[in-house]
Amino acid sequence: MSQNRFFSKVQCPFQSAAEYQIKVLGWLGQEWSDWFDGLTITTQTESDSEPVTVLTGRIIDQAALHGILRKIANLGLPLLAVNHLDSQATDAQYDKPKA
């Protein structure tokens, strides 16, 4: 049987915990943080435009990321951006041996 061309033998770098920044159009308060798995929530507002909510934090894997995106969709918030942040510095703090 031939190999499925959609699957890679190489481990995807996005299958482990990483820092993400997700931007949505609309306002969410910090009280939503627990529902969004502890992500930090900030709101950017400008006088002539709608507020933009930014969710930032460490997400454990792709399944958790998809779960958060599903919650955003269920709230009806337009998704503006999903950014995988360069987490080399943050990876170092999680991977440090305990002294």
pLDDT at residue 15, rounded to an integer: 65
Q: Which two tokens stand for residue 47?
A: 């006088």
The DSSP bridge partners found for residue 57 are 20
For residue 2, give the amino acid letter.
S
Q: How confident is the model at residue 46 (pLDDT cuts 50, 70, 90)?
A: confident
Q: Which two tokens stand for residue 94?
A: 């999680």
Cα separation of 4 and 21, whole Å? 32
Cα separation of 52 and 63, whole Å? 24
In contact, 54 and 83? CB cutoff 8 Å: no
Is the confidence at residue 48, as pLDDT, over 90?
A: no
